[in-house]
Amino acid sequence: SNVELSRLFERLNNQYPGGDVGLFSIYFFNYITLNPGEAILLKANIPHAYLHGQCIECMACSDNVVRAGLTPKFKDTATLIDMLDYQPLTIDQTKFPGEKISENIIQYDPRRISNIDDFIVQEIKGNNGVINAIDKPSLMVIIQGQGTMNEGKVPFDEASVYLIEKQTSINFKANTNILAYRAYSLI
């Protein structure tokens, strides 16, 4: 709504004082709010900005981040204009829900809405459960909770990151409900 965008403009103007040209981008981009349990797929060369809140971002290694606004960092507007994909997208073409694949795991698979087959992200919740083995190595980050994995042999705590070898399943038992994310490449 116009009221919502006006409030956003005021907040960003306070956050990035001095007339940051990126302020006006909010009137040209799709303004999308993600709720817990939702994901968004942003293909290469699609302009975007994370404005507020927390998210898990999974992307290919890249050294070509190009900024043009809403940042105190170096801005390279000319390069950004040359590289952008200007095809319009609807929110339905980018936003998608996860799919429950087990009692504790919700899977976010970009192939549900695109031909992107690079990676999958899984959300893991609960007090105890099994993270099934896959034929690829994966990374898991613990966002909240603490406990042990593999019959008490490996302790975990929030802000911990683990490399899970391919063909390795993980049994976990948490003292409190955990929230973790696992990501792996399909390539």
pLDDT in tens, 71-110: 889 999 999 999 999 999 899 899 999 999 999 999 999 9
Give the residue numbers spanning the domain of 137: 98-185
Of 42, 66, 96, the last residue of a domain is 96
A 10 A CB-CB count for 127 gives 14
Number of domains forming the structure of the chain? 2
Token duo for residue 183 = 């990501």
pLDDT in tens, 7-65: 999 999 999 988 898 999 999 888 999 998 899 998 888 888 889 888 898 887 776 78
Sign of the alpha-carbon dihedral angle for 89, 90, 91, 96: negative
Q: Is 67 designated active site?
A: yes
Domain boundary among 48, 71, 96: 96
- Give yes or no: residues 92 and 107 share one domain: no
Q: What is the pTM of this model?
A: 0.87
Q: Are residues 102 and 179 in the same domain?
A: yes
| Residue among 67, 111, 112, 182 flagged as catalytic | 67
Residues 7 and 91 in one domain: yes
